[in-house]
Structure formats: structure tokens, C-alpha cells
Amino acid sequence: MKYIYIILSFSIVLFASLDNNITKEYQLVITAPKFLNKEDIAKELGVKSNNSLNFFNKKYILTQEFVDNIKPTLKGYLDSHGYFDAKFNIDKRGNIIYLSIKAGKPVRVENIKIDSNFKVKNLINFKKGDIFLSEKFDKIKDKIETKLLENGYCNAKIDTKAYIDLNRHSANLKYSIDKNYLCYFGDINITKKPYDIKSDVILSRIAYKKGEVFDIRKIQDSYNGLNALKTFANLQIKYDLDKKSKFVDTSIELDKKEKLRRFTLAFGLDSEIGLRVKSLWEKHNFLHNAKKLSYELSISRKVQKFKSKLFAPAFLNIKNRYFDIYSSIGLLRDKEDAYTQKSGFIKSYLLYNYHGFDLEYGLTLERLNIKLNKDYSAKIGGIFNILSPYLTIIYDKRDSKIDPKNGFLVKAHGEIGLNYRKNGVKYFKYLLEGRVIKSFNDLTLSAVCKFGAIHETNGKLPASKLFYGGGLFSNRAYGKDKIGAVLSNKSFTQLGGKSFVNLQLEANYKIHKRFYGAIFFDSTMISKQEYKFNGNRIDTLGFGIRYKTPIGPVKVDIGFNIHKRKDYAISIMLGQSF
């Protein structure tokens, strides 16, 4: 009996102790004017959950640790939103806290004075009559500092003040900026690196050179370039802006990652090729100097592909201009509506990249076996041996590769087929592409235009080398490469053509937070004849939804042929096509 008493006593003490450790929760009920966002207030106060899926009965749960700070936290929130004389009442009844807010008269911007020798007016988005927001005021100062650093002014003098008159509920804003002298990048020092990585590999990823005008964005671009090699850890690029000097020295420190092998297996549904299984094995820092060896296998009903690839950064150095080399070998089976292609290929190219300028020069060796699904001309089917040097030039001035808002891109591609042996193919293929994107607050307008031409000289060209349309990057009323030579605004062949024009226009507008709506127009012209750019077109009109994520937008589009509405397609992709 004594032992039972001890056990019961111990259990009571234990459960009492556990009960004391349970955090008490309160439901927060907020009454406030419509112009104050209740969800923002709740988050500022530290709510645990807002049950975002229940739109009609949202509950704000506040834990005990935040209850004692409601008054100072709410006061700070209201002050930062311009309501300095707001009144509020806190009424705790059991496990419910009732919060009632009367905003009162806000402080509004009365005058804005700018004294600057650097253009900042477009960065100051306060207007006379606006409610004064201290957080917005601080962000404007940060934007001015960043803009100066992007334009080479690393020792600028910035003085921003907000004079608040609580009696008159007014704010007078003063911005005084002296850009001072231009700064330049100084010495680039590698102070720490792995022993098996040569300095040229690291310097090839640095987006600036000694003597160039300082631009803080180039520091971030350098981080991105080094991280893209997937070889380094503990990466730091240090620089000092405090000393009174026109030159900004940088020092680079990095270690090597411990895990340099990666294997992935993915199953997915591609809106253009259907169900797909893909596996990838990668070895980073293969044989040192951040080289990468990879094997890739991709299987779907339409396409089966195996590829082995070797990448060597800074393979060639010409007067401190670094060229990477890529080499690959692979097998491909591709089943299209008009033909089935089996091929083996070897490809190698040099790539030079600097300040948005890409130069790619390469050579491809292919052996194609093309079986036509119908009785088309024998010239486009059969066995082909192709040796084709090519050159691709890209100039990219978009503000982001993941989700650009402004800028342009120009791309030119030229390819020559050399008749080097039996069943060889001799041809010239050109493709020119231009992209423009411009944003106006929540509205973004985009345009892509492509021109292409093929000139064959020995009367024998594989079907897969012709131009095709359809898909996310061409015409969204049809699947990828479904459009061959266009016969009318309602019909086309399954085989492609030798002249190609494609236009895509799109407007995106913010609907709510991360959600955007889109309308678009696509137009595709493909002719069987060489250098004919005024033939029949397939015109498409459509709409879509975008959801912004950190790795780019998720896009869902529905496109319809304007002249044949039963022809439509639904496309899904992750990333920006502009």
C-alpha cells in the first residue's frame, strides 16, 4: 500500500509539472477600422495561426509569451503606420482577448524636400497627402543606398529626416544626398581556397575586374557564379566601403564541400511529352578544378534519351578571358507525329560569358536514322551523317534570369552542315530571337519574336532539322512541335518548313499577393519554301494564371486557335518563358 501511495503521489507531481509547462493559449478578437489590416496586426502581435483555409471564421491564437507585449507592440505598429494618436482597449475574458482599436487621425506627408546631385526622385514613392509610414521611409533610404552602390558611389553621404508634427498631424520629409566620387574595384585577393582548385577557376566566376566601376550587384553575381559550380562551401567575398579610397579591394575565401556526389530520381508529368521518369548522377570536382561528370537518363512514351556530359570551367584563358568547355555523348529516340528518329551524337563547345554576353562555339557530330510515318519525300527520311559547327551569341540585359521584370535579350544562332562523307548533309540554318519585358507597378508586358531560315545546298535535309511550332515557347494552342508547315489559319502539315516566324505577346497583372493573371497572343508562320516570311499563320489567343515562387513562377496557360476554337491546349511549366 505504501508503494502504491508513493507511485500515485509521484504521478500527481509529474502531471502537475507537465501541466505547468503547457503554454497557455488565447483567442485574439480584433475590432478595427477597415483600412487597418487585421491579419497584419495579428502577425505583428505574434499569433500562432490564422487558419488561412477557413475564410469565413478565421481565428487568431496568441500564446502566453506574447500577451504581456500586446500594448507596446501594438503602439509601435500603429505609430509606424502613421496613427500616432490611436486609441485601443485590451479586454481579457478567460481565454479570449478582445482588442478594440480606434485609429484617429493619421499623420500625412505635407512636404518633400530633395537636395541631391544623384537622381533619386523616382525612388521616393511618397506623395503629398500620403499617410506617413516609418517602415516605408526606412526602405526608401535603403533603396537610395543600394542604387548609389549599383552606380559606383561607395562613399556617398545620405541624410534623410522626417519631421513629425503631432498637433498638425503632418510630416515634412527631407532627403539630402551627396554622391561623392566614383569608386572602382581594386585588387582581387584569394585568401583561402581548396588545394586542388586552381585560382583561374575561381577568378573565372568573378563578375568584375580590377579598375572597373564598382557595382554591388557584381558581388552578388560572383556569389551566384561560384555557387553554380556546386563545389564550394563557406563562401565569402569580403569588401570594405568605409575607408576613404576610390578603390574597393575584395578578398575571397572558400572551402570545398564534403559531399560532391548526387543522385536524383524523379517522376513527373510533362504537359508536352506526358509521363516521364528521369534519373541523374553527378560528380562535382571530378579530377579536381571543379570539373563535373554527369549521366542522365530520361524515359517517356515520346522521348527516350541517355547522355553523358563532362564540364570543365576555365578550360582556356586568353588574356584573362575564361572559356569553359562542355563535351557530351548520347543516344536519343524521339517519336513525333510525322517521323521516328533514332540518333547517336557527340557534341563539344566552348562557352565565354561576361556581363550578360554569352558566346558559344561548338561542333556536333550526329548519325540519324529517321523513319517516316507516312510516304513523304525520301529526302527527309533515311540515314544521315551530320557534322555541324555552330555559333550562338546571346546578349542578356534582363534584370533576372529566374523571373525578369524589365530588360531585353537578343540571341543569334548560326549552324552549318558539312557534307564530309556518304549520306552527309550540307545546309545553312539561322535563327534570330529578341525578347523585351517591361513592368509598370503590377502590370508586366512581354514580347518574344523569332525569325528562322534554312538553306540546303545538296537537296537532302533530315526531317528533324526543319522548323516546327507549338508549345510553351512557340504557340500555346498546340503541344510542342505539333505545328509543321502552315497551310491556312486552320491547318498545317505534320512536317516542318524552312522559313519560320513566331511572335508571342503577353500581359501579366497582379491579382492577389503571389497570384497573377495573364492574357496572351501567339502567332506562328512556317513555310516549306526558303526565305518566305509572309505566309499563312496560326493565331492563338489565351489566358493563364501565375503563382510566384522563389525559384520562378508556376504558369498554367490555356490557348485557343482563334479561327478553329476546338484546337486548344493546356500548358504547365515552372519558370519564366520571357
In this prediction, residues 100-117 reach a mean pLDDT of 91
**Looking at the predicted structure, is the pLDDT value of residue 116 above 90?**
yes
The model carries a pTM of 0.80
Are residue 93 and residue 144 in the same domain, yes or no? no
Q: How far apart are CA 344 and CA 385, in angstroms?
A: 10
Looking at the structure, tell me whether residues 555 and 531 fall in a common domain.
yes
At 271 the pLDDT is: 61
**CATH assignment of the domain containing 409:** 2.40.160.50
Q: Let me know: does 560 contact 490? Beta carbons within 8 Å.
A: no
In angstroms, what CA-CA distances link 423 with 329, 419, 496?
21, 8, 21
pLDDT at 52: 45
Identify which of 142, 111, 106 has the alpha carbon closest to the alpha carbon of residue 127: 111
Confidence of residue 352 (pLDDT cuts 50, 70, 90): very high
Q: Rounded distance, CA 304 to CA 431, Å?
A: 26
Q: Is the residue at 264 inside a domain?
A: no
Same domain for 115 and 98, yes or no, is: no
The pairing of strands 108-116 and 170-178 is parallel
Say if CB 551 and CB 541 are below 8 A apart. Answer: no
**What is the SS3 assignment for 391?**
strand
- Residue numbers of the domain that contains 7: 2-102
Query: Does 273 have pLDDT greater than 90?
Result: no
- Phi, psi of 261, deg, nearest 5: -110, 145
Q: Is the pLDDT of residue 411 over 90?
A: yes
Phi/psi of residue 213, nearest 5 degrees = -60, 135
**Amino acid in the structure at residue 242:** D
pLDDT at 19: 45
Q: What is the predicted pLDDT for the residue at 423? A: 76
* Separation of alpha carbons 88 and 100, rounded Å: 5
pLDDT of 20 higher than 80: no
Query: At 58, is the pLDDT very low, low, confident or very high (cuts 50, 70, 90)?
Result: low
When mean pLDDT is compared over 40-44, 122-126, 389-393, the highest value belongs to 389-393
Measured CA to CA, the distance from residue 108 to residue 164 in angstroms comes to: 9
Of 39-53, 63-77, 213-227, 278-292, where does mean pLDDT reach its minimum? 39-53
Q: Band the pLDDT of 424: cuts 50, 70, 90.
A: confident
- Which element (helix H / strand E) includes 516? strand 515-527
Of 578 and 174, the structure prediction assigns the larger pLDDT to: 174
pLDDT band at 49 (very low <50, low <70, confident <90, very high): low
Can you tell me which residue has the cell 523616382? 122
| Confidence band for 550, pLDDT divided at 50, 70 and 90 | confident
- Report if residue 387 sits inside a domain: no
**Whether 448 and 475 share a structural domain:** yes
> Cell numbers of 576, please?
519564366
- Give the rounded percent of residues in the chain with a pLDDT score beyond 70: 93
Residues 475 and 426 in one domain: yes
Rounded (10°) CA dihedral 147, 151, 157, 160: -20
- Dist CA 478 CA 492 (whole Å): 12
Which are the contacts of 249, defined by CB distance < 8 A and separation ≥ 6? Answer: 186, 187, 188, 189, 239, 240
Q: Look up the CATH number of the domain holding residue 130.
A: 3.10.20.310
Q: How many domains does the chain have?
A: 3
Spatial separation of the C-alpha atoms in residues 505 and 500, rounded to whole Å: 17
Strand partners, 554: 547, 574
51 has pLDDT over 50: no
Q: What is the pLDDT of residue 272?
A: 62
Establish if 535 belongs to a structural domain.
Answer: yes
* pLDDT value of position 214: 95
CA distance 397 to 353: 13
Last residue of a domain, which of 158, 178, 198? 178
Locate 479 and state its grid cell.
Answer: 503541344
pLDDT at 373: 84
The share of the chain scoring above pLDDT 90, in percent, equals 64
Residue 227 belongs to a domain: no
In sequence order, what are the residues at sequence separation of 6 or more whose Cβ sits closer than 8 angstroms to the Cβ of residue 97? 26, 27, 28, 29, 62, 67, 70, 90, 91
State which of 178, 199, 231 marks the end of a domain.
Answer: 178
CA-to-CA distance for 123 and 121, rounded, in angstroms? 5
How far apart, in whole angstroms, are the C-alpha atoms of residue 300 and residue 334? 10
- Amino acid 464 reads S
Domain membership of residue 283 (yes or no) is no
How many CB atoms are located within 10 Å of the residue 178 CB?
14
Q: List, for residues 28-42, the tens digit of each pLDDT value.
A: 888 888 888 888 888
Contact 349/361 with Cβ under 8 angstroms? Answer: yes
pLDDT single digits (tens) 438-475? 999 899 999 999 999 999 888 788 999 999 999 999 99
Q: Give the per-residue pLDDT at 354.
A: 80
Q: Which three cell numbers stand for residue 277?
A: 521518369
Residue 393 has pLDDT above 60, yes or no: yes
CA dist 400 and 310 (Å) reads 27
* Residue 64 belongs to some domain of the structure: yes
Three-class secondary structure of residue 74 per DSSP: helix
For residues 357 and 409, give the distance between their C-alpha atoms in angstroms, rounded to a whole number: 10
Average pLDDT, rounded, for the chain: 88
Question: pLDDT tens digits for 170-213?
Answer: 999 999 999 999 999 999 999 999 999 999 999 999 999 999 99
Residue 565 and residue 486 share a domain: yes
What average pLDDT score do residues 100-123 get? 91
pLDDT tier for residue 541 given thresholds of 50, 70 and 90: very high
Q: At how many degrees (to 10) do helices 216-228 and 134-150 cross?
A: 80
Q: Looking up cell 526608401, which residue turns up? A: 140
pLDDT at 92 over 90: no
Whether 309 maps to a domain, the answer reads no
Q: How many residues does the chain have?
A: 578
- Nearest C-alpha neighbor of 315 from the set 354, 359, 349, 356: 349
- Tell me, what's the pLDDT at 4? 45
- pLDDT exceeds cutoff 70 at 281: yes
Which CATH number covers residue 88?
A: 3.10.20
User: Nearest-CA neighbor of 481 among 489, 493, 491, 490?
Assistant: 493
Q: What is the pLDDT of residue 342?
A: 95
Query: Same domain for 47 and 7?
Result: yes
Write out pLDDT tens, residues 225-271.
Answer: 999 999 999 999 999 887 778 999 999 999 999 999 999 998 877 66
Is 519 part of any domain?
yes
60 and 151 both lie in a single domain: no
Shared domain for 484 and 407, answered yes or no, is yes
Confidence check: pLDDT of 276 > 80: yes
Task: Mark whether 405 and 515 lie in a shared domain.
Answer: yes
412 with 451, same domain?
yes
Residue 540's pLDDT is 97
- Cβ atoms within 10 A of the Cβ of 196, count? 12
CA neighbor of 21 nearest in space, from 32, 13, 31, 29:
13
Mark which of 102, 131, 147 sits at the end of a domain. 102
> For residue 53, what pLDDT is reported?
41
Question: Residue 68 — very low, low, confident or very high, per pLDDT cuts 50/70/90?
Answer: confident
Examine the domain organization and report whether 545 and 425 are in the same domain. yes
DSSP per-residue codes, 410-474: EEEEEEEEB--STTB--EEEEEEEEEEEEEETTEEEEEEEEEEEEEESSS---GGGSB-B-STTS
Task: Kindly report which listed range (60-64, 318-322, 558-562) carries the lowest average pLDDT score.
Answer: 60-64
Tens-place pLDDT, residues 361-392: 999 999 999 998 877 776 788 899 999 999 99
Region 535-557 average pLDDT: 91
Q: Worst-scoring range by mean pLDDT, 287-296, 344-353, 547-556? A: 547-556
Judge whether 503 and 523 are in contact, CB under 8 Å: yes
The string of DSSP letters for 274-302 reads EEEEEEEEEEETTTSTT-EEEEEEEEESS
